Amino acid sequence: MKICIDTTILIDILKDEFRSHQEKLYFALSKGEDLVAPSVVFAELMPQFKGNTKSLHSFLREHKIKIEPLDIDSVINAGVRWMKYLKRKSMVKCSRCKHTLNIKEHFLSDFHIGGFALTKCSAILTRDRGLYRKYFPELQGYENCLKESPA
């Protein structure tokens, strides 16, 4: 099964946080799942490696995660859902100048990851399922695959 790995899971491994999510990745590795991430994940991880792309490549290789480019179908999926998000996002007024401000909680990269996962993968492994449930409801979380597999 081809599984999209979200940036949050890889940061959890690097910071040794949220062990239950880390364990899902290691379980997927033990099952021989095909682990992939879109190129935007590589960019999001670069600060964790202080820009050292050699170390980042090594980390991804150790965890058997392949980086793949975003294709136009993934970007279209992302863009459609990004526009939906932008229509729903919160507006607040500045208490000082009364100017209306847009509040964004998510970044376009989150939608690129979702679009990639939906177009190219069977499921996504992420800690942030709320965004994907809301904007990519047909995208299966890897945790659901684990519930369905025989013990």
Mean per-residue pLDDT of the chain: 89
The per-residue pLDDT for range 28-40, each reduced to its tens digit, is 999 999 999 999 9
Q: Where are the domains of the chain?
A: 2-148
pTM: 0.84
Return d(Cα 58, Cα 14) in angstroms, integer.
13
Return d(Cα 137, Cα 144) in angstroms, integer.
13
Residue 95 is classified by DSSP as T
* Domain boundaries 2-148, corresponding CATH code: 3.40.50.1010
The per-residue pLDDT for range 79-103, each reduced to its tens digit, is 999 999 888 776 566 667 776 665 5
CB-facing half-sphere around the CA of 87: CA atoms within 13 A: 7
Residue 106 is classified by DSSP as S
Pairing of strands 2-5, 34-38: parallel
